[in-house]
């Protein structure tokens, strides 16, 4: 059974990545801008005082400009940082993107070691990347389980962030997969019903 689920996940990753490869740079930039505007219009974003963002990879929807906007608005902003000692990610606060970030594990921008770790219950909104999502809050990650581990210890509203091409009808699910509270795309904001 597990092998079948893992194979279904692998096939879905391949399918969605193939669709994402069809998007040109201008289309990605426009879709990212549209998603950022949709997010900032949400009461959840407007009320959130503590937000976990992520450093977008080239194939992901780009929310990075919201980092400086959130800081300027007085929000407390955190990013995931890989802790080699535990082999897991933790949420760490940043105050100045120029000073506080470095290339971290997997070459992804993350907070430097001197950035303080936030307590797990101190986040209002947690923005989550992934390869695919469905509108029932299921997420397909990259396959290592790092985000699922992080989401199990964090408290706050979780929101999957994706291009419309990443939203699919079904996501193969294993016991460790965490359900999200909402999904953001350039054209949709969907709050998942429990």
The DSSP annotation for 28-88 comes to HHHHHHHHHHHHHTSHHHHH-SEEE-----TTS---THHHHHHHHTT-EEEEEEEETTTTE
Residue 119 belongs to what domain range? 2-191
Average pLDDT over all residues of the chain: 93
Q: How many domains, the chain?
A: 1
Cα angle 144, 147, 59 (rounded to 5 degrees) comes to 80
Whole-prediction pTM: 0.94
Three state DSSP letters for 74-122: CCEEEEEEEECCCCEEEEEEECCHHHHEEECHHHCEEECCCCCECCCCC
Rounded mean pLDDT, 31-57: 97
Mean pLDDT of 40-65: 95
Which tens digit of pLDDT belongs to each residue from 100-142? 999 987 889 999 999 999 887 789 999 999 999 999 999 999 8
Reported as a pLDDT band with limits 50, 70 and 90, residue 194 is low
In terms of C-beta density within 10 A (0-12 exposed, 13-18 middle, 19 or more buried), how is residue 99 classed? exposed
39 pLDDT more than 80: yes
Q: What percent of the chain has pLDDT over 70?
A: 99
Tell me: pLDDT of 80 over 60: yes
Structure tokens at 16: 């969605």
* Residue 40: C-alpha distances to residues 4, 9, 34, 91, 153 (Å): 39, 31, 10, 21, 26
Phi-psi region of 135 (alpha: psi -120 to 50; beta: other; left: phi over 0): alpha
* CATH code: domain of residue 124: 3.40.50.10420
Mean pLDDT for 88-93 is: 93
- The pLDDT-based confidence of 175 (bands split at 50, 70, 90) is confident
pLDDT number for residue 63:
96
- Give the Cα separation of 190 and 79 in Å (integer): 23
In this structure, the dihedral spanned by the alpha carbons of residues 91, 94, 99 and 105, taken in order and rounded to 10 degrees, is 10
């Amino acid at each position: 059974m597990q092998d079948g689920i893992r194979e279904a996940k692998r096939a879905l990753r391949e399918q969605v990545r193939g669709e994402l490869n069809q998007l040109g740079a201008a289309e990605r930039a426009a879709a990212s801008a549209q998603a950022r505007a949709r997010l900032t219009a949400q009461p959840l974003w407007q009320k959130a005082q503590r937000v976990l963002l992520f450093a977008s990879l080239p194939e992901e929807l780009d929310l990075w400009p919201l980092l400086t906007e959130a800081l300027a608005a007085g929000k407390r902003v955190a990013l995931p940082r890989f802790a080699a000692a535990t082999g897991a990610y933790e949420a760490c606060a940043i105050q100045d993107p120029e000073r506080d970030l470095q290339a971290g594990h997997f070459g992804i921008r993350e907070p430097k070691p001197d950035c303080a770790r936030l307590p797990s219950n101190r986040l209002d909104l947690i923005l989550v990347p992934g390869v695919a999502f469905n509108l029932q809050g299921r997420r397909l990650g990259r396959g290592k389980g790092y985000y699922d581990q992080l989401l199990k210890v964090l408290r706050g509203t979780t929101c999957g962030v994706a291009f419309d091409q990443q939203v699919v009808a079904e996501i193969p699910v294993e016991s460790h997969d965490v359900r999200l509270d909402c999904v953001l795309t350039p054209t949709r904001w969907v709050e998942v019903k429990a």
